[in-house]
Structure 1
């Protein structure tokens, strides 16, 4: 636990605490009275209310759209199922900046809907909600569908034989078994939408602001650190509560069910109802998932002779100090280094958490590992600049500061991927190796590692994908001469002109392709046949 604890203490807790304390302490005095002033501000109240209700609305809409697809992937077998599973997961590993850009190309000014029917949804709440459904669709499909595929269908069939209708059998038998998975997926969707930043910033315009966007505005534009500190504490408290509820839900899910092999529960569609459901899910995926991505690619090719892509190789001396194409190499380098950090820290944490003699303190650290997913990335990024400014941790001028911040987001994915597999290793195998004289290191190398090698590769892939798309913290610490892909996309979108817009579409397409390739590799390396996260 030493390495994970030190890593999180230095690169997470210290920067966050430093920026919060800087906000509450100014002119040699503490200003805790600022809390009442900020929370009593009607504008802040509007931000808090919008953050809450849009997260609730996004969660409800995502469940409504994705639950039928969860059933289709769990219970129906059809050609191209594995490829379609990978397609619906692509949005989840895409950076939020790319998601916002894709929907901007679909519903924004000059977008597909604007060209065809004169309809624009950008700067409206509907664009934000649809983008959130697009981003979180896979969370519900794979989390709920993964469990649904392993539920024994004979229980529901027995209820039908005893006279229950199809709906009654589903409501009385299947739904209670699925409830923990649905709750866990709902809480994760709520967490991601509650802390939404890139999507709201690009699609919402000045009229809509979540807590994360407001923290960025107060920090980077107004430089009101006191208000930003109060909002950070509020968001931290809310996220801690969400993660506490999520942890309890996951524990219920792990201990309350008896599962069967998922490969025997899926059957070819039978009857008009199942075929209609399959067709409806395919149409939803085509419109909700494929169409925005296709429009993004089409907009990047809108100019003759690949003009937007060729423009990426030129330095205009305005937005960047280097040609935008350099952002590709920067992002790949940063993501690789961040993946190494994330796998090292997350792997050690997962190994420690699997020990049966781990104390309550160690088990509690499991929940803390999830905090980087919910704590304001803006706060973390600005905290890096404020806190890591003195030797021996003066990293502001070093390129390593970017992958360190990105690794914080990758560690939770590594832990969540490796922990179930490590817990599944028979303890008697380790004990037998130890009795035969193997050292603890050799036991790990010859017993644990062969069993978790594939999970380790999957964890590395997820860490690489999320590091590649990290935006909230990187936007503060990436230097103008070394921008990352998400930062480059956001800066191009902030400048007027068709050429800047086209270059943003081109860079987003490149980033989408890299993430999609990473995901397809992950799909081949899945450690189970259910496709569950």
Structure 2
């Protein structure tokens, strides 16, 4: 458990630093200049955050396999031969290639955090500030401008994105399970031992490991959440003096260096998804002359028929959509009610109660998906074992994990609605229903659609809790199906293409939901969440 804790802290810290190193230059150049189709660029950079973790894991596995460009260039990060093997031998570092892939994958996954927090601040900053600073003695050098202007302005946003990156990397499960199979994080340790934990007089040692790991993880995540909340308050105190259009137009189109940085970031952002898509059509072919790869629909046909799994891709898709809609039907009203209650407490001059409830809604983020799944598993096991026969049991952890995101989306929108708008609708003699619609709901309709789309996307891609509760059977989700297929021996050349076909369907569903969310995101919201 100590080794797992050390590895978890190490990989989460390095992942957070790498997220800043990769994401900050992209956010800087994207926010400072006038880009054509800027909204499309923002959307592409934001996709990684909502992409299912199992799809990301498969994408990065394909980027480092023996058919990849990296392997052709002599960089073998999977089997760790060549230069990577020499590094491991000389440094005495076990599996450096696996660790490097994991932190890069985490940086890819959290890239949108840096873009979403930093880019809007830069895009709305008055250019006159930089001009005035350059006239002062302390602002004549780049270091002086960074120290006295840029860091005070974007520093809280950078640190906030880094702390959230640490939090999400700390609780990563699918990426750790597939990219670093020889190392355990606290999350993967709990998942591995969770199957026998909590059973009376059976494997007491596993129960102790799971309990200690969950407590340590909860304390660390709670501290990270507190830090993130404090940084968000500092970040939200910064406000734009000019519109985004005015700021970026004054600086003009991006120079070549900025273009190269952003376009390189685009290649990085789409590479894992493109790898998963193309792998669904590439099938291994063996003959007397050796092994080759050809293009075929065999993987899709196999996924459609379910020949290599307990159920077909259609059945898994149906299960995933049923869980997603059930999650939406519960999480959206619950999150709406919580956000409305917080706003009502603020209006009625009860800031301490509002703040306490606001923080309480964040607590599920300090309880990872595996911890939630384990809690439900042990709770049902001890109280009502018959619930294991309930088809919709996975909806419970999905609701717990998505309600905080609904609150985070809806609360700012509700705060922006002025009470006088509803009063003006009443003065016009509208019916109570029309008064509520025109004086309130029409202003929060867009964020409600955003919250709905994100809720369904997170439910579709959730893996940790679902993996614990529905590992195999007639109620597998698409995420669990991909994991089950890729866990099979690869003697059958259709195993990997079939898994990638299921991953591609999951990826396309996420794309649709995300772009619906982007379509209804309020104008002037920039890149922010």
**Normalization by structure 2: what TM-score?**
0.85
Q: Which residue of 1 aligns with 2:504?
A: 509
Q: Deviations over 1:337-365 (max 9, x none)?
A: 21221211111111111122245234212
Give the whole-Å Cα distance in 2 for the aligned partners of 1:84 and 1:438: 42
Q: Which residue of 1 aligns with 2:23?
A: 66
Q: Which residue of 2 aligns with 1:340?
A: 329
Q: Does 1:298 align with 2:281?
A: no
Give the whole-Å Cα distance in 1 for the aligned partners of 2:432 and 2:513: 33
Q: Which of 328, 337, 355 is residue 363 of structure 1 equivalent to? A: 355
Give the whole-Å Cα distance in 2 for the aligned partners of 1:87 and 1:154: 30
Q: Which residue of 1 aligns with 2:181?
A: 205
Q: Does 1:249 align with 2:231?
A: yes
Q: Does 1:214 align with 2:209?
A: no
Label 1:67 to 1:231 Cα distance change in 2 as closer, same or farther (>3 A). same
Give the whole-Å Cα distance in 1 for the aligned partners of 2:226 and 2:150: 26
Matches within 5 A, 1:24-423: 44-114=1-71, 117=74, 119-121=76-78, 124-162=98-136, 164-165=139-140, 167=142, 168-206=144-182, 208-220=183-195, 224-267=206-249, 274-286=255-267, 288-303=268-283, 304-316=295-307, 319-320=309-310, 322-355=311-344, 356=346, 357=348, 358=350, 360-388=352-380, 395-423=387-415
Q: Does 1:452 align with 2:444?
A: yes
Q: Deviations over 1:142-162 (max 9, x none)?
A: 111122222222211211233
Deviates more, 1:345-354 or 1:165-174: 165-174
Label 1:210 to 1:291 Cα distance change in 2 as closer, same or farther (>3 A). same
Q: Is the CA contact 1:455–1:526 (under 8 Å) kept in the aligned structure 2?
A: yes
Give the whole-Å Cα distance in 1 for the aligned partners of 2:234 and 2:169: 24
Q: Deviations over 1:15-62 (max 9, x none)?
A: xxxxxxxxxxxxxxxxxxxxxxxxxxxxx2111111111111111111
Label 1:176 to 1:96 Cα distance change in 2 as closer, same or farther (>3 A). same
Label 1:117 to 1:144 Cα distance change in 2 as closer, same or farther (>3 A). same
Give the whole-Å Cα distance in 2 for the aligned partners of 1:220 and 1:389: 11
Q: Is the CA contact 2:34–2:252 (under 8 Å) kept in the aligned structure 1?
A: no
Deviates more, 1:83-92 or 1:56-65: 83-92
* RCO comparison, higher one (Cα < 8 Å, 6+): 1
Partner of 1:519: helix, strand, or coil? helix
Displacement of 1:80: 3.0
Displacement of 1:106: 0.6
Give the whole-Å Cα distance in 2 for the aligned partners of 1:494 and 1:218: 18
Q: Is the CA contact 2:409–2:450 (under 8 Å) kept in the aligned structure 1?
A: yes
Q: Is the CA contact 1:105–1:112 (under 8 Å) kept in the aligned structure 2?
A: no
Aligned residues: 485
Give the whole-Å Cα distance in 2 for the aligned partners of 1:424 and 1:324: 43
Q: Is the CA contact 1:50–1:209 (under 8 Å) kept in the aligned structure 2?
A: yes
Q: Which runs of 5+ in 2 are unaligned?
A: 80-94, 198-202, 284-294
Q: Is the CA contact 1:177–1:257 (under 8 Å) kept in the aligned structure 2?
A: no
Q: Which residue of 2 aligns with 1:521?
A: 516
Aligned Cα root-mean-square deviation (Å): 2.6
Q: Which runs of 5+ in 1 are unaligned?
A: 1-43
Partner of 1:395: helix, strand, or coil? helix
Displacement of 1:423: 0.6
Deviates more, 1:463-472 or 1:432-441: 432-441
Label 1:471 to 1:233 Cα distance change in 2 as closer, same or farther (>3 A). same
Q: Is the CA contact 2:369–2:401 (under 8 Å) kept in the aligned structure 1?
A: no
Give the whole-Å Cα distance in 2 for the aligned partners of 1:436 and 1:243: 45
